Amino acid sequence: MKVRDQRRAALLESLGELLQESDLDSINIADISRRAGVTRSAFYFYFESKHLAVAALMEQVYDGAMLATERFADPDLSPVERVRGMVTTLFDTVEEHTHLFRAMLDARGQSPAVREMWDSDRQSFVGLVADLVRTERAAGRAPDGPDPDALAAMLLELNDRALERLTLGTLDRDALTEAVVSIWVRSIFATDPATDPATDLETA
């Protein structure tokens, strides 16, 4: 690894450690740089702000989001199994990195640049989900319904809100999971999750 890459990695590692000890507002650039063993100027060589450094750390969560989308795409599973697999993977990923996701929520609220990045990343998943909806409809596994792109955008907005609730601890995870799964399944497959045989298997 090149020296520059090592410094960048050290800064991100330092920030990740600090976020496990404190909230983003309490952390400053000097704290991050000192723990990483580099100068403040070195920090600004890689990142314009601590908010954008948090966004760089979020790659760990994006990998989980991609895996969740892959599970949703598995046609060998029932609608409930597919959606539940997606939601569970998302929730597991966020709970594994709760300190990071909480910091990202703060960064998104404070930095227009981070907010733009967040929206852009979510938009990249809109196309994936919309294409899956089209595939399900073409295969006869889902009925015709709203415009796939608009539907995907709204369902992903729902996921955003659910992840915020999970991170902030304002709703029980099991209750939140069931609510999100039900909305996704009903919206795409027009199916009642309670009547799907997979429901008993998953919740038994």
pLDDT at 152: 96
The single residue listed with the structure tokens 């740089």 is 33
Q: Which residues contact 62 (CB under 8 A, 6 or more apart)?
A: 121
pLDDT at 31: 95
Complete domains list, the chain, with CATH: 3-47 (1.10.10.60), 55-203 (1.10.357.10)
Q: What is the mean pLDDT of each run of 10 residues along the chain (204 residues)?
A: 79 95 95 95 95 90 84 89 94 92 94 93 90 94 95 96 93 95 95 66 40
pLDDT at 201: 38
